[in-house]
Amino acid sequence: DAGVIQSPRHEVTEMGQEVTLRCKPISGHDYLFWYRQTMMRGLELLIYFNNNVPIDDSGMPEDRFSAKMPNASFSTLKIQPSEPRDSAVYFCASSLVESNQPQHFGDGTRLSIL
C-alpha cells in the first residue's frame, strides 16, 4: 500500500519567496495533519483536517502560513512570504476516523529558507 506521500522532499529558497508543500494522504483516511519539526521546538502540530474541513489551526504560527485540502487526496501547506525561521522539516500524516487509530507519517519536506 502506498503510504503518505509528500513533495518536494527538499526545498531551498530565498526569504520572501512563496513556498508550497504538498501531501497525498493514504486513500480512505479521513484525518490529515500537518506538523513542523525543529531541534528547538520538537514536533509541533500546525493544523489538522477532518473530511477536508480544517478542525484546529491553532498551531499555525502566523498569517503567513495557510493550509488547504481541496479534496480527500490532496493537501497543501503554503508559506508566503517565507522567512529563515521557517526552516524546518514539515511532516504530513493521515489517519482513519475510528478512534485511537495511529497516524501514518510521510517522509517529510526539509525546508531551508536562506
Stretch that binds another protein, among 18-26, 60-68, 80-88, 103-111 (CB under 8 A): 103-111
The contact mask relative to another protein for 78-97 (x = CB under 8 A, - = no) is -------------x-x-x-x
Helices (H), 42-110: none
Q: Which is closer to another protein, CB of 36 or CB of 113?
A: 36
2 binds another protein (CB under 8 A): no
- For residue 95, how far is the Cα from the chain centroid? 14
Cβ neighbours for 61, distance < 8 A, ≥ 6 positions apart: 46
Cβ neighbours for 47, distance < 8 A, ≥ 6 positions apart: 33, 34, 54, 56, 57, 59, 60, 67, 77
Q: Which is closer to another protein, CB of 15 or CB of 97?
A: 97
| Residue 65 backbone dihedrals phi, psi, to 5 degrees | -100, 135
102 binds another protein (CB under 8 A): yes
Residues at the contact surface with another protein, assessed by CB under 8 A: 4, 31, 33, 42-43, 45, 48, 50, 56, 91, 93, 95, 97, 99-108, 110
